[in-house]
Amino acid sequence: MKAIKHIFPAKEEVAATFAAFLKEQINASERYSIALSGGSTPKILFEHLARHYAEDIDWSKALLFWGDERCVPPTDDDSNFKMTKTYLLDHITIPQENIFRILGENNPESEAQRYASEALRTLPIENNLPVFDLIILGMGGDGHTASIFPHQMELLEVDNWCGVATHPDSGQQRITLTGKVINAAKQIAFLVTGESKKEKVDIILHQKDGYKSYPAAHIQPTNGTLHWWMDEAAAIV
C-alpha cells in the first residue's frame, strides 16, 4: 500500500504535528475543504487546534464537512458535530456558511441524499465525484473507517456519494461518505492511535492475510496522497 507514514511516540504529538500540517495547508489556500471525523484522536486534534491555532489559522478559508455522522440530534453526546462544536468550533471564528453539518436528526436516507446534492455539490466535481482537499479518517478496532463497516463493504463501491450505515453492535444508523468519494480526495489522512489498533494497522499496511476484509484497506486515493498519522502504540509491532 502506498502511504506516507508519520509515527510519533505519543498521541499528543500526533495531534500537534497534524495540527501544524493543517495550518500550512489552510493558510496556503484560497479555500480548503476538509471532511472531519469522529473518534478519539480527532478530539485531541480539535483541542490542540482550539488551544494553539484559534488565531494562527485563517479559519475563514476552511470549509468544514463531515466524513460521517451518527443519526442523532446535534445536541446528543454521540453526535460528531457536537464533539467538533464543543472542542473546536466554539473556540474559533469561522463563518457559519463554511460549516456543512450532516443533519443527524433527519431521516437517514433522505439526509444522505440531501448532503450529497446540497453540501457535496459545492465542491469541485471531477469524474462525477466531489473532490475534497483533505479527508480526515479514523480507524475502528474492527478495521472500519468513516462509517463503512466490514459487514457493509458495498459502501466502498456504490455510486451514491453518501450512504446509510448501521453500527454492527449498537444497530445505530449513521450517514457516511462512500468509498469512491473518499478515494477521490486530494489528500487522505488517517489519524490512528492506541494499542487496540495495532493488529489491524499491521495487517492493513503490510497487506497481510485477510487485509481486504477491512474497509480501511480499501482507502487508496485515485490521484491524491494517503497519509497514516500514528503513535507508536498503534504503529510499532
Applying CB under 6 A, the residues found at the interface with ligand 6PG are 37-41, 68, 80, 138-140, 144-146
Query: Min. distance of Cβ 194 from ligand 6PG in angstroms?
Result: 7
Angle at 15 between CA 210 and CA 66, to 5 degrees: 70
Nearer to ligand 6PG, 7 or 58 (CB): 7
Nearer to ligand 6PG, 53 or 149 (CB): 149
Nearer to ligand 6PG, 138 or 224 (CB): 138
CA-based end-to-end distance of the chain: 17
Q: Which residues are 230's β-sheet partners?
A: 7, 192
Nearer to ligand 6PG, 55 or 176 (CB): 176
Nearer to ligand 6PG, 53 or 229 (CB): 229
Nearer to ligand 6PG, 27 or 74 (CB): 74
Q: How far apart are CA 158 and CA 164, in angstroms?
A: 11
Nearer to ligand 6PG, 58 or 99 (CB): 99
Query: Min. distance of Cβ 174 from ligand 6PG in angstroms?
Result: 7
Query: Min. distance of Cβ 97 from ligand 6PG in angstroms?
Result: 24
User: Which grid cell sits at 220?
Assistant: 487508496
Query: Min. distance of Cβ 17 from ligand 6PG in angstroms?
Result: 17
Query: Min. distance of Cβ 16 from ligand 6PG in angstroms?
Result: 17
Q: Which residue of this chain has its Cβ atom nearest to ligand 6PG in the complex?
A: 138
Q: Residue 200 corresponds to which amino acid?
A: K
Query: Min. distance of Cβ 60 from ligand 6PG in angstroms?
Result: 26
Query: Min. distance of Cβ 84 from ligand 6PG in angstroms?
Result: 11
Q: How far apart are CA 108 and CA 34, in angstroms?
A: 22
